[in-house]
Amino acid sequence: MMRARYRVRAGANLLNGSTAAGVLVALAGRARPRRAGDGLLVAAGYRLPVPAAPAFCVGNVLVTRWPERQFRAAARLFAHEARHATQFAWCGGLLMLPLYGGAALASWALTGDFGARNVFERQAGLADGGYSAKALRPTLRRTRPGTRVRDLR
């Protein structure tokens, strides 16, 4: 039996259209969505060149280039992408895409990396998604006279 919070997430992403969009994206990439539990779908074997990531999420659809068995075995990455499904529900669906894009650009401006300071990636678990924390660009680091430059993580 599915937990109430996963039913709410699945219902929200169904109503806001993001899960339907995720199914269309998966099909466009020649991946076939299958039930994965907790209201999620896994679409394995995605073949389009964008995005370059090994896995991504649209609504309650976790899309991956990997075979389904390999993706499910990568439990941390699977959990990371499932957290993004919850973010889609909280952001009202496809509105998450420009919000995520803005967060990725802000992260790049701060660190030179699209994920390191991206609020969505941080909340989904940086390491679980294959990201790592990065220092601020040297020109953005705070320094005080007589002290060393330090990494503000």
Tokens 């649209």, residue?
58
SS3 149: coil
Q: Which amino acid is at 138?
A: P
Query: Distance between alpha carbon 24 and the CA centroid of its chain, in Å?
Result: 18
Please report, for the chain, how many H helices and E strands are present, in that order. Answer: 6, 4
The pLDDT of residue 2 is 85
Q: Around Cβ 9, how many Cβ atoms within 10 Å?
A: 25
Burial class (CB in 10 A: 0-12, 13-18, 19+), 135: middle
Q: Is the peptide bond before 51 cis (omega within 30 degrees of 0)?
A: yes
pLDDT recorded at residue 75: 96
pLDDT in tens, the chain (153 residues): 889 999 999 999 999 999 999 999 999 999 999 999 999 999 999 999 999 999 999 999 999 999 999 999 999 999 999 999 999 999 999 999 999 999 999 999 999 999 999 999 999 999 999 999 999 999 998 766 655 555 445
Q: Mind spelling out the 3-state secondary structure of 93-138? A: CCCHHHHHHHHHHHHHHHHCCCCCCCHHHHHHCCHHHCCCCCCCCH
- pLDDT of 145 reads 64
The conformational region for residue 11 under phi > 0 = left, psi -120 to 50 = alpha, else beta, is alpha
Both tokens of 22, joined, read 């995720």
